[in-house]
Amino acid sequence: MAREQMPLASIIRNQTFEGYLLVRAASQRSGQNGSRFLDLTLCDQSMEVNAKMWDGTVQAPAMGTIVKVRAVMLEYNSKPQLRIDKMRDLAEGDDVDISALVPCAPEPPDKMYSLIYERARSIYDEELRNIILKRLDECKEKLEYAPAAMKLHHSERSGLLHHTSTMLKSAEAICSVYPTLNADLLCAGVILHDLGKISELNYDSMGIVSDYTVEGNLLGHLVQGAAELRRVGKEVGARDELIIMLEHMLISHHDLPEYGSPKPPMFPEAEVLHIIDLLDARMFEMNQALSTISPGCFTDKIWSLDRKLYKPKTVRPRPE
């Protein structure tokens, strides 16, 4: 576990900061006296700050990378400004806590990936298992940091793993209530359902989305995900019905055409996939919105939900 560093926002004037920061912008510039210096925008989760490094020999670090700095918090034009005394790129052995720098899923990506992978390995139908494992292998690298959205729910580093692994738990829970459901099929659908987002969004290894891709704009992650699934299904030699049913689960998981699904869910596992996807998105958005207000109050209207939310004052869960 990474050693905790001070949040930038807690550093007072003239105090020294030491730790890792994310580079949002960086360029070498020349002062009026001709001397060269570095002008940077650095950030952690708590704030974004302008920084100067007066040593004209230092190269500007790449945008989106993490640097280790020692710096003093000054003030310029009544705004905070960091004067960097030492700065270097990440080196082997550095133990950065990325969640101090950008919004991250609450669990480490490898732990979530393992949970998902182990569930996939336990699938009984060999063709189905081969499809899922192959798709997971293909996506493994990007899944480490891929978020699940540009804004809205799970727009955080490893958000796609977060969303998928939580849904996997819901899927298992629901299957215990409705034993006629094919649990392997449902879990396969959960694992696959948003993998199309990996190529729908442009994001960096911090999980920060800059834009939709051309493919994402023109096709959308439902159609993209179904196409990748079909390709892999053919590659592992799976039977047609299995491939078609999985494609159906992908394109139908938004339920209604106005949310992008060309077909509604036409068998129980496809329906449950849609419902637990809705559930997880709603829980994330509601909890996030409610975290910002006091008990007894309402949030502002939340546009994605078209309503205000209430945080109870006297109604409390059972104490632990």
Q: Which of residues 290-319 bind its own copies (CB under 8 A)?
A: 290, 296, 298, 305-319
Exactly one of 25, 58, 219, 236 binds its own copies (CB under 8 A); which one? 219
Strands 79-89 and 66-76: antiparallel
Q: Which stretch binds its own copies (CB under 8 A): 18-26, 28-36, 95-103, 241-249?
A: 241-249
Nearest to 156, CA basis, from 113, 204, 208, 116: 208
Nearer to its own copies by Cβ, of 83 and 134: the residue is 134
Amino acid at 291: S
Nearer to its own copies by Cβ, of 86 and 263: the residue is 263
Nearer to its own copies by Cβ, of 147 and 216: the residue is 216
CB-count burial class (<10 Å; 0-12, 13-18, 19+) for 77: exposed
Instruction: Restricting to residues 266-285, name those near its own copies by CB under 8 A.
Output: 266-268, 271-272, 275, 278-279, 282-283
Q: Where are the alpha helices (DSSP H) in the chain?
A: 109-121, 126-143, 159-177, 183-192, 197-200, 214-218, 220-235, 240-252, 268-290
Other residues' Cβ atoms within 10 Å of the Cβ of residue 55: 14
Least distance to its own copies, CB of residue 212, Å = 8
Confirm or reject binding of residue 150 to its own copies (CB under 8 A).
no
Instruction: Restricting to residues 193-212, name those near its own copies by CB under 8 A.
Output: 212
Confirm or reject binding of residue 262 to its own copies (CB under 8 A).
yes
Give the total of residues touching its own copies (CB under 8 A). Answer: 78
